[in-house]
Amino acid sequence: ILQYGTPKQLLTDKGSHFMANVFEAISSRCGINHIKTTTYHPQTNGLTERFNATLAGSIGAYVNQQQTDWDDYLPFVTFAYNTSKQATTGMEPFKLMYGRSPVLPFDIPSSITQLSATSDYYTQLTKFLKQAKSTAKCNIEQQQNIYKQTYDTGRQDHTKLQPGQLVLLKQMMNKHLGKFAPKYYGPFKIIQQNGRLNYKVQHINDGHEETVHVSRIRVIV
């Protein structure tokens, strides 16, 4: 609130810290409409879940084996994300927030900097942000259609896995696995299809077999 002001709405999961009486009291006092996601349905808050997955995957590439130094890399990974062009919006989050591209440490500044009057700058900034957000909205809508087509195609292709194909399996939630552990393990090869959405797979190295739902399978290209 002190950095960005009071939001009109806040979408969260049903974690204990978001359901606490203190949190609810602050939301009510500040006039914040607190919306909760459906339990075990993270797609409701898909943007945040996607960001968290990207963040965890990026940090996971740098942390030590014990995963105890993740906070050392957090600000750098976050800055890298915020200054990278996103496929969905077509823009950097930094630019959408501040109306300009970030100046990075290795950027060479121009020899002459043109300074406009404060009133002109405000007008230009307001105009740019309005146009940028409109463009980002259109890009998001286009990408959503593409994602839907890809998702639908992917679901159809999943039922066409062939014996002998190499795949990885998605890790299931396990308290013994760290948050930054690899999301997939394997490789496995397809043995046979059991029903429409289940497959028997065999690990390439140790030979153990598992029967898994198609949603956990990722084909090795």
Q: How far apart are CA 64 and CA 52, in angstroms?
A: 19
Which pair of tokens denotes residue 80? 């890298």
**Over the stretch 154-166, which tens digit does the pLDDT of each residue have?**
555 555 789 999 9
- Identify the pLDDT of residue 110: 62
- Identify the pLDDT of residue 102: 86
DSSP assignment of 61-118: TTS-TT---HHHHHHHHHHHHHTS--TTTSS-HHHHHHSS----TT----S------H
- Identify the pLDDT of residue 176: 64
**Closest to 58 (Cα-Cα) out of 97, 35, 93, 84:** 84
pLDDT score of 192 more than 80: yes
DSSP 8-state symbol, 158: H
**Over the stretch 28-61, which tens digit does the pLDDT of each residue have?**
999 999 988 766 566 666 778 788 888 888 898 8
Q: How confident is the model at residue 207 (pLDDT cuts 50, 70, 90)?
A: very high
The residue assigned the tokens 């795949």 is 167
